[in-house]
Structure 1
Amino acid sequence: MMTGIKKNFYLSSLSLAVSLALTGTLASAGAYAAADEEEVKVEKRENVEKIAVVGTRAAPRSIGDSPVPIDIISSDDLKKNGSTDMIDMLVTSVPSFNSRAQPISDAATLIRPVNLRGLPSDSTLVLVNGKRRHRASVIAFQGGGINDGAQGPDMSVIPTAALKQVEVLRDGAAAQYGSDAIAGVMNFVLKDDNEGGSLTYTKGEYYEGDGTTTTIDGNIGLPLTDDGFINISGQYKMADATSRSVQRPDAAAIAYGTDGTDGNPYIQNPAQTWGNPELSDDFSVFVNSGLEVNDTTRLYAFGNMSSRKAVGGFYYRNPQDRGLVYSKINEQDPNDPNDDTRELLVGALNGDQSSCGVVSAEVPNVLQTAAYKAMVADPNCFSMNQIRPGGYTPQFAGKIEDSSFVAGIKGELGEWNYDASAGTGNNQASFGLMNSLNPSLGLETPTNFDTGAYTQNESSINIDFSRFLNIGSIEDVSFATGFEWREESFKITQGEEASWVAGPYAEQGFNIGSHGFKGFGPESAGKNTRNNIGIYTDVEAYLNDDWLLGVALRYEDFSTFGDTLNYKITAQYIATDELSFRASHSTGFRAPTVGQENVVNTQTSIVNGELIQTFIAPPTNPLAAFYGGEVLQPEESMSIAVGFVYEYEDFFLTFDYYNIEVEGRISQSSQKDVLAKDYDALRAAGVEFPELISAVTYYANDFDTTTQGIDIVANYNMEAFSGDAKLSLAYGWTDTSVDKFSPDTTDEGKVRRLEDGIPAHRATLTWAQSWDDINVSVRSNYFGEYYATHADDTSDWGSEDVGSAVTFDLDFSYALNDAITLSVGANNIFDKKAQKLKDGTLGELGAVYYESGPYDYNGGFYYGRVNYRF
């Protein structure tokens, strides 16, 4: 039988559901007047900050009463962390949620991709106050295997100061919320206080003495007349770059010289940096507001403005062997590759390269050779060594600007509850490249480039209705239905001409465009738009005191690829006052994003130790289509989950098993070599200079996977050491198998990364101890074995299996008085080092550690914090 508190809370919340269930935000103080205040107070005392609305359109429930697994993380819990980045804080709070740093990864350096339950970032739907959050404009071209090609929202713009709590639904919910909710849903609930506030100053750095981070954030609640609120939060952050690098041996050999030759004095040390990018002017402002118009009507609005700049490094361009910039291969005998020699790529102003002679690049320092000096002395001849004699490492600069606004009205019309809202969101990533060249422009090339921008824009209109019905002998059946219209666009803005133009020396074999990140040309620029409508019905009811049953059905129609129909069934059986069982079954889908359908880019990759230019093309582009690209279709999923909840006095335990099958997963294909035998056919298809493109990738419905796992969450409250203590355990086991894939578009290395690229076992054990003025939190983090890769290389040279690891975090807080709290702490307090690269790999590209590990390869990070509440 259900406990009296649970049953009464559910029934007394029926009239409250209007103002809560469809907006996804907890009610303001005034809204509680509609419920039995004493019963609400009892429930809140027993489960402070543990009431969630995500995953149901009936009355809000405690996490123990939910028929699907939900994690709720309070703002205070998030702050017990040295990092002020929302992604880092969630990684330490939700075991099945993972992310890693992206030191050299194009645009993924700016917005890190994440994954929940072993699925990519765009398989998790992100909500703010229950409303869909727009996705970022950045697509993770090098997303660490799982996230290759993913385009998810940017959660890092949300400051902790703005949050009341984060609700994480670990269950498929596409039938309730639409596309992207295959792995689950994350709902960020904004603060709604109408008084008080806080101001926090945090500063920290890594044990190595770099990566100094300064963060200032604040929050204030203000009344909006006597019946409303406006809550404003802001954060400003700066972070220095880090470096876990050594000098590359190829750069060192040229710098110091051999065989009695003088070294090249223009080589930087280190020539290439592996580390976090530098962040500057990183600010974010969130505003949340609500107004009770009368007893049955409430207005609400919220939104944000955010911006940040980041500068990170790329791969080093060796001044003697970087093909199509500094050098070329001279084939002596086409049938004998051992006879090939490498010589300097020399350009001729008059177009006749043969008049410039041959300059061998197979020497310790080409600048010291007589052939090079003679070439330089010839006014008709040149090489890129004259501009960058020590080679160069391009720096990737980006500016991310993000904004959103949602407004709505909700209330009662007779026995019906309604919620009508409209919202828009915009994310723009403007790209630049410094310390680079457009080799095809010769000696006239600039070295800094504006390479263009991506812009993602989404708008939506939602109208939702709900009420409670009596159907036969079943009372208080929650019935909800609604309509959603969404429009999504992806725009590519053209870069400056020098960043993309094929200069006069392209025909002589010099690379086109700014090297490292080719600018977007007029053929790439443009805007693509898609719209869709969705209609859903959601029914949920207690069949009796012991059984809860829910059914959801959703139909969506897209302007590009057609329609889809999905369902979800949930059930909960209350066996005793302490034990209940739950289960769910659902189908789902993830629509290909407009960006994935239309994105164009050029990235630099390492293949067999050589840097190559890879062109990323839309799947229907002539180049991609030639090598197998087809129109994208939505991913389809089917999931089941079973588990139980056990609550006894101060002990709480949940156990959940899940199984998610995804067919037609969308991902960036493996690199397809552009072959010399295809050049003529590619030119006929409209591809310019195919001989200067080493490889092409595109997005495809590449493979089918099955992901299964177990989530265990346990809490125990007790008295210890003359204070209050709480022990928390969160464990996740995730196993992904690739059931089907096309070897033409997905190689074995990528399959290995999908299956083993993140630890199968992950756990956190936290002890939180509190006294009157002191709070101490100690967290241990366990990371199981995983498959590590370096520079996205899955060969034996760049990858290996890595064993498990444990790190420890510590946070200590002391309240000077009711207003001021001082905190110190450290993440990875014992400075557990990341896995070192193996012999033969370590240092070859300037790196020391595998950057694909599950925890920060930069090492320990310590911090101090001052918080003022008013």
Structure 2
Amino acid sequence: MTAAIPHPQFRNTHRLNPEKKSTVSVGTEQSGLLVFFDNRSGSRHHTPYLTPVLGKIMQLNRLTAGILLAVWGSASVAAESGAAANVTAAQAALAAANSSKLETLIVTGSRSVSDNRTIENSPAPIDVLSDEVIQQANQTGLLQTLNTTLPSFNVPGLPGYGTNSVVRAGQLRGLNSSHVLVLVNGKRRHTTARLGAGGFAASAPVDLGLIPTGSIERIEVLRDGASAIYGSDAIAGVINIITKKDSSGGSVSVRAGEYYEGDGDTQQYIARAGFEIGDGGHFHIAAQYDDQKPAFRDGPVPDDVLFYFPLDANGNQIVPVGNRSTGPKLPAGATPDPREATVDRHKVFGASGGVAEAEFAALTLDFGLPLNAQTELYGFASYAGREGRSAQHFRFPSRDQVIRAIWPDGFTPYTGVEEKDYSVQLGVKGEDLAGWNWDLSSVYGKDDVDTYQYDSNAPSYGLASKTDFFLGTYQYTAWTNNADLSRTLDSGLFGLTTDLSFGAEYRYETYKRTAGEEQSWNHGGQLILDGPNAGKPISISDAGSQADTGVRPEDVADDSRDSYALYAGVSLYPTDAWVIDLAARFEDYSDFGDITTGRVSSRYEFTDSLALRGTVATGFQAPALAALTFRNTGVTVENTNHTLPVDSPEARALGATPLQPEESLSYTLGLVAQLADDISLAVDVYRIDVDDRISQLSTFRESTHPGSGVLVQAASPDFGPDDGISYLINAGDTRTEGVDVTLEGGFDTRNAGEFRWSLAANYNETELKKIAPTPAVLAQFNVPLYSAASQANLLYLAPRFKGIASLNWSLENWSAALTATRYGEIKRSTSVNVNGVSTPTVFSVGDLWVVDLELGYEFNDNLSLRLNANNLLDEKPAKLPEGSTALWPFQSYSYVNNGPINAAGGFYSATLAYKW
């Protein structure tokens, strides 16, 4: 059985029945004549006298045109060859009504050689985002583009401070950011070198923010478990980015905008061009530059919170009263420093109030060169560079960690990131090697992150302290090699049409962490220089630069591992209406052993307009290489926290055990229906069980768990009893259940233009089925393995409900698009001070609508202008509850940092594009 292949001389060619591997295509020649092409015989059938009439009809009603095309085409072809007798009017109508979709064949979700997989007939749910959709999202980066267009994808506003506010990640179906596998042109993409991206302590996902949108042809998002096909990480699904491969033409575009409040200026420049090489080959180059200025929305510091030391009756500086819950306050009988009256009380307290500063540049190259009629050499290369600055909490000058001789009015430290990212893939593929298609490929990727602390100080170095510090380098590389074979047997297993695929993979990973400069981590021995505590020693916990400290020499790492995999896939077609996909994979890792996964996926078509699909799959995620030896020291406004390597003697003495891979079992059941001529519905329900979720032990210290200070000090002589201690753990088992719904359609009018609309929604809920037992050494001090705050982050970081409604309109040179996104309840936990007692509370940062609007005009075939308003109604996220003790009291006026949107508010921009 041969799949239909459009004739190379035809344009606008559509298969009449791609779902059933029809052998007939419909198209038009360059002359405009309507043509039917029999792929088996190679014969063409012209209809010159009907082409003008049918062309007019097609402009008015594609469905009617499809029926007439089918009737005429079937009669014409049958009269001359009889080869297309199985082509029905209904099949042609369906193809004509949905031709724009059927032209996009999908390549994600199976290694099958078949070339007839589309969104509609895939056994698994797949979203396809075209270049047009990506542009319409009007987002600076790919990460936010996915968040804007996919209900099942969530990007927390800022799940953390410091480096993780620059290196970010998203969630698919509410799972970890590292539970989604990212491919580029079907090949595995390397991950970030930074652990903790996306709000999950042990995650090292692919940094989608480093993939330029200007080089993307389309994105295929598989919402289903696929570890048996692609390996580790594909528990929630797969994102496959297909790059542009044009051999001619090109475009340039300029985008500029700012937030309603006049800050956060954004500029974006994209240029691309395609060139023909050799005989039928292509070379495509794309470049992109983004410049994002900061925008902060933190509230003012309340008047009763002191910046400076208060004064006693003799004018001497004294220590203020108050604590972390109340802030520094004026003692009885004291007077405030005169500078309190004139100090600027609008300070930056972290990037939670808006958008961090970032600069991004990228270059991509894509080429393909036929070596002969059956063999092609192909490749893709990308380079991305990013610099970012993210604000941390303002440091009051009354804190002895501030060198007042350098910063008399305090300072806001900024975390800096300078990142370089490379990827090169090279391969050769061919057809008909003893009947097999084959593909040999090799991909090398590297992420190199240099970290800095700006506008800070190292208090233990006194006047010799620097203000800018190099904190260390994080580096990850991955080298992945694949060999794949595939073929179709007309009479294969059980006498059925069978697609077979086999493959092998070898992957080698490295991870390095280098030390920062000495002042960033060391204790210089200087005493407190001035103030009420002058002459007292600086705590050992306050060694290094403030906000983020550097990587200590004992924290450096140089690790590697390799893995081998064998995999196979079978696609069976028992009938024209039924397809069954089977996949299995064996994988062996040098650091934790082997694992086998499997997948069964099927689709049955009851009628031309109704089908059922489903998948059962096992999956896994290997612990990130960085997680196995991760060690870190962080300094907050009030505390110093240490994350110990899970394999260190100190961590083992506190009950740590080696990290095990997460394993999953997932089920998906979906219904696909064509409700009317141009209205389609897809409903997919799913359950994903994940065992041994990797997370982080609840931080403990003497003040939170009395008596545990002895454990803290036993871990290291340099630790104070109130330093926080933690390490990575296999926390427990979860179950995620949800449903994805998509309803879309469109209609044409004679005078008012063409309308396309869609309604898409995701409902998602996660429960913690089991928590691993707490080690006895911690249980004696009531230290929980997994705190309520950590559980809340796991269960509630993603929205329970997210819906996106869109309406697109076009008429001649004009176009418009309106998108409304609904976020349902999103729970967050904090503590509120009630009569001096810290009381846990849960509140929602969801329950909001975000509306985006675009207006477009094409001056001619080459030049166009788009005007956009993102967050048109200037919606802001929730604020922390009054009296919150999670942060300083002035933060009760600030916005939650990890909600679905940031606090910058409405944003407007204009994009001018020229293509040729």
Q: Summarize the alignment of residues 25-64 of structure 1 with structure 2, pairs less than 5 Å apart.
A: 45-47=99-101, 50-58=104-112, 59-60=114-115, 61-64=117-120
What is residue 755 of structure 2 aligned with on the other side? Answer: 725
Q: Summarize the alignment of residues 436-585 of structure 1 with structure 2, pairs less than 5 Å apart.
A: 436-469=456-489, 470-471=491-492, 473-505=494-526, 509-510=539-540, 511-585=542-616
- Cα separation, 2, equivalents of 1:74 and 1:213: 23
Q: Of 276, 288, 293, which residue of structure 1 is paired with 2:366?
A: 288
SS in 1 for 2:371: strand
Alignment CA distance shift 1:8-1:199 (3 Å) = closer
CA displacement, residues 355-386 of structure 1 (integer Å, 9 cap, x when unaligned): xxxxxxxxxxxxxxxxxxxxxxxxxxxxx434
What is residue 75 of structure 2 aligned with on the other side? Answer: none
Q: Summarize the alignment of residues 769-788 of structure 1 with structure 2, pairs less than 5 Å apart.
A: 769-788=809-828
Contact 2:413 2:455 in 1 (8 A): yes
Corresponding letter in the other structure for 1:748: A
Deviation at 1:8, TM superposition (A): 5.2
Q: Summarize the alignment of residues 349-364 of structure 1 with structure 2, pairs less than 5 Å apart.
A: none
Deviation at 1:263, TM superposition (A): 3.0
SS in 1 for 2:651: helix
Aligned residues: 784
Deviation at 1:437, TM superposition (A): 2.2
Q: Summarize the alignment of residues 638-787 of structure 1 with structure 2, pairs less than 5 Å apart.
A: 638-647=665-674, 648-673=676-701, 687-691=716-720, 694-720=723-749, 722-742=752-772, 744-787=784-827
Per mean C-alpha deviation after superposition, the further-off stretch among 472-481 and 834-843 is: 834-843
- Cα separation, 2, equivalents of 1:277 and 1:649: 44
What is residue 270 of structure 1 aligned with on the other side? Answer: 346
Deviation at 1:443, TM superposition (A): 3.3
What is residue 150 of structure 1 aligned with on the other side? Answer: 203
Q: Of 648, 653, 671, which residue of structure 2 is paired with 1:626?
A: 653
What is residue 180 of structure 2 aligned with on the other side? Answer: 124
CA displacement, residues 313-359 of structure 1 (integer Å, 9 cap, x when unaligned): 1122333356xx36xxxxxxxxxxxxxxxxxxxxxxxxxxxxxxxxx
SS in 2 for 1:79: helix
- Cα separation, 2, equivalents of 1:286 and 1:33: 36
What is residue 411 of structure 2 aligned with on the other side? Answer: 392
Corresponding letter in the other structure for 1:867: A
Alignment CA distance shift 1:219-1:804 (3 Å) = same
Alignment CA distance shift 1:34-1:555 (3 Å) = farther
What is residue 28 of structure 1 aligned with on the other side? Answer: none
What is residue 193 of structure 1 aligned with on the other side? Answer: 246
SS in 2 for 1:575: strand
Per mean C-alpha deviation after superposition, the further-off stretch among 54-63 and 794-803 is: 794-803
- Cα separation, 2, equivalents of 1:263 and 1:185: 60
Alignment CA distance shift 1:803-1:103 (3 Å) = closer
Deviation at 1:830, TM superposition (A): 1.2
Deviation at 1:69, TM superposition (A): 0.2
What is residue 780 of structure 2 aligned with on the other side? Answer: none
Deviation at 1:46, TM superposition (A): 4.4
Contact 2:792 2:828 in 1 (8 A): no
Q: Summarize the alignment of residues 44-193 of structure 1 with structure 2, pairs less than 5 Å apart.
A: 45-47=99-101, 50-58=104-112, 59-60=114-115, 61-102=117-158, 105-140=161-196, 143-144=198-199, 147-193=200-246
SS in 1 for 2:698: coil
Q: Tell me which structure has the larger Cα radius of gyration.
A: 2
Alignment CA distance shift 1:505-1:64 (3 Å) = same
Deviation at 1:629, TM superposition (A): 1.9
Structure 2 unmatched runs, 5+: 5-14, 25-37, 45-86, 311-329, 528-536, 775-783
CA displacement, residues 571-617 of structure 1 (integer Å, 9 cap, x when unaligned): 11110011010111010000001111122222244xxxx62111122
Q: Of 276, 297, 304, which residue of structure 2 is paired with 1:244?
A: 297
Structure 1 unmatched runs, 5+: 15-31, 327-383
Corresponding letter in the other structure for 1:853: G
What is residue 426 of structure 1 aligned with on the other side? Answer: 446
CA displacement, residues 91-113 of structure 1 (integer Å, 9 cap, x when unaligned): 11110100022285122111112
TM-score norm. by structure 1 comes to 0.85
Corresponding letter in the other structure for 1:845: Q
- Cα separation, 2, equivalents of 1:35 and 1:220: 37
SS in 2 for 1:672: coil
CA displacement, residues 469-512 of structure 1 (integer Å, 9 cap, x when unaligned): 22355333011010000011111022111112232259752421
Corresponding letter in the other structure for 2:412: T
- Cα separation, 2, equivalents of 1:54 and 1:493: 38
SS in 2 for 1:385: coil
Alignment CA distance shift 1:542-1:616 (3 Å) = same
Contact 1:161 1:217 in 2 (8 A): yes
Alignment CA distance shift 1:251-1:101 (3 Å) = farther
Alignment CA distance shift 1:633-1:276 (3 Å) = same
CA displacement, residues 96-134 of structure 1 (integer Å, 9 cap, x when unaligned): 100022285122111112100000110000000000000
- Cα separation, 2, equivalents of 1:263 and 1:621: 51
What is residue 595 of structure 1 aligned with on the other side? Answer: 626
Alignment CA distance shift 1:46-1:498 (3 Å) = closer
Contact 2:845 2:877 in 1 (8 A): no
Q: Of 177, 196, 212, which residue of structure 1 is paired with 2:265?
A: 212
What is residue 302 of structure 1 aligned with on the other side? Answer: 380
Contact 1:416 1:465 in 2 (8 A): yes
SS in 1 for 2:361: strand
Corresponding letter in the other structure for 1:801: S
CA displacement, residues 196-249 of structure 1 (integer Å, 9 cap, x when unaligned): 011010011111111110000111111112321011111101111011012223
Contact 1:509 1:692 in 2 (8 A): no
Alignment CA distance shift 1:613-1:684 (3 Å) = closer
- Cα separation, 2, equivalents of 1:405 and 1:33: 37
Deviation at 1:559, TM superposition (A): 0.2
Contact 1:587 1:637 in 2 (8 A): yes
What is residue 324 of structure 2 aligned with on the other side? Answer: none
- Cα separation, 2, equivalents of 1:244 and 1:790: 20
What is residue 62 of structure 2 aligned with on the other side? Answer: none
Alignment CA distance shift 1:387-1:858 (3 Å) = same
Q: Summarize the alignment of residues 812-831 of structure 1 with structure 2, pairs less than 5 Å apart.
A: 812-831=855-874
- Cα separation, 2, equivalents of 1:37 and 1:504: 88
- 2:908 is aligned with 1:862: yes
SS in 2 for 1:249: coil
Corresponding letter in the other structure for 2:421: D
- Cα separation, 2, equivalents of 1:33 and 1:310: 54
Contact 1:166 1:186 in 2 (8 A): yes
Contact 2:20 2:577 in 1 (8 A): no
Alignment CA distance shift 1:289-1:843 (3 Å) = farther
- Cα separation, 2, equivalents of 1:669 and 1:65: 45
What is residue 361 of structure 1 aligned with on the other side? Answer: none
Corresponding letter in the other structure for 2:882: D
Q: Of 204, 216, 233, which residue of structure 1 is paired with 2:286?
A: 233
Alignment CA distance shift 1:249-1:468 (3 Å) = same
Per mean C-alpha deviation after superposition, the further-off stretch among 118-127 and 432-441 is: 432-441
Contact 1:245 1:846 in 2 (8 A): no
What is residue 393 of structure 2 aligned with on the other side? Answer: 315
Contact 1:714 1:730 in 2 (8 A): yes
- 2:442 is aligned with 1:414: no
SS in 2 for 1:437: coil
SS in 2 for 1:254: coil
Contact 1:409 1:419 in 2 (8 A): yes
- Cα separation, 1, equivalents of 2:165 and 2:376: 41
- Cα separation, 2, equivalents of 1:616 and 1:271: 30
